[in-house]
Chains A and B, each alone.
Chain A
């Protein structure tokens, strides 16, 4: 069930260039289930900035009633969020949307992420591992300074890093790594820029895949029709990224 709660900030730190890790505590965590769901955060009690910010859930800690978000502070709203400190409260609406279907993976899964699309793959990797699924992580970043959670992913399975400028790992995009890896997996999950999602779909037309999309949102719950995309089903069919997704099976969304 969707809840709106003033959650307590437990910790916040910068973990890479412009990237922040924010952990909050509250009853809303009880409602979280699927990796890949997101929350809609109001960064100020005033109406400036006006709209909430959709932020993906990077890890869920049910025992301590906490969850962690990882976001890039690049606009007005996320910069205000980056100033929040332990003890502050933030207004969180969530969990929202439909996440990655972990039950679809059989034995081995590829988790392919780019930039700020990487965070939801961490909770996904944790949940897949706890179900006995082997996970291989292929993660792309701009540069060495932008990389985060490399060690955390390594603790859960094989982890390959690509950077656009070649300052760490393979030079180029995640697709350069995918070309080198054997196709010995049954399911892939991906989150990142639209161009990356397209490339990943092209790379594995025969595999079962699930992609998490990004689109500019208004309400976050499906009422405002800001984040619609057409689908491959018919000329008139459409989905709302916020409430029907953000995760969809490969081959469905026309982005």
Chain B
């Protein structure tokens, strides 16, 4: 029997696999396809204080083994998520990680304080790394001092553990990770998308209405893996790793590099059953590799 469970602050995961924020809505669409209780956790779409209508379309563009998106944090706002989306998710035996976004410290604090009281929200993921909104988001994630202070402010009001979602669009991701560790973060989720763009060769115009977008998908996995490896080596925080995960061996890679759990993002759009498929294959793959549990594998690349 392979032990698939993982314990990290706030989260007793039955397995280390969860859909990444923004790639799974609030679960309703995927619940038509499979039982969400199979998942280790669910990272729901970013929640802001007010309803957000998002960016103009086109919002997505395909790239080589990847895609760009600039959705713009469209969501029904704190009211809608707290009173409608989260209660609906209570029917499933799965912990929810609520993604919190905003444009000011006060925004983050307000959403964090309220949403952390929802019975099925077991942890927060603070989104200081969205590249697609003009104000806030990534500005909090690129300066270590700002990131540290925001982490402190959110920690003060949250009734559940706080994970900070890091941006790869920085010179030194380790310095940001160390800063949020100093600020009292309970964990790190990484990485958000890489800022990119695509042009129409006929016209020279950007394909995405927002001009730039966040790159995700298999194309970014090597970058994500390297960053998880570095942050895991130089901080003591547990990491939920993500970036281009499509199959069970990608999960093995992220766990080996030091992630304690792994989120699957863009791959849900390609194969909506990807999360339960990976969960089904993981025990056998661990057995083949000579491991009896997920925990044993975590960080093995650092022990070689």
Contacts and interface: CB of A to CB of B under 8 A. Distances in A.
Interface string A206-236: 0000000001111111111111111000001
Contacts of A7: none
Contacts of B53: 230, 236, 238
Interface residues of A, number: 30
Interface stretch (A49-57, A124-132, A181-189): A49-57
B60 A50 contact: no
A243 interface: yes
Contacts of B29: 219, 221-223, 243
Contacts, number: 98
Contact of A224 (B28, B66, B269): B269
A51 B32 contact: no
A13 B45 CA distance: 42
Question: Chain A binding site: helix, strand, loop or mixed by DSSP?
Answer: loop
Question: Chain B binding site: helix, strand, loop or mixed by DSSP?
Answer: loop
Contacts of A243: 29
Contacts of A221: 29-30, 32-33, 272
Given A223-B25, A243-B29, A50 B270 contact: yes
A246 to B, nearest CB: 14
A6 to B, nearest CB: 12
Contact of A216 (B59, B64, B65, B271): B59
B273 A1 contact: no
Nearest to A93: B272
- Max chain B Cβ within 10 angstroms of own Cβ: one of A42, A49, A218: A218
24 contacts: A1-B32, A4-B273, A48-B64, A50-B62, A50-B63, A51-B270, A216-B61, A218-B69, A218-B269, A219-B23, A221-B29, A221-B30, A222-B25, A223-B24, A223-B268, A223-B269, A224-B23, A225-B71, A226-B57, A226-B59, A227-B57, A228-B54, A228-B59, A229-B57
Interface of A: 1-2, 4, 42, 47-52, 93, 215-230, 236, 238, 243
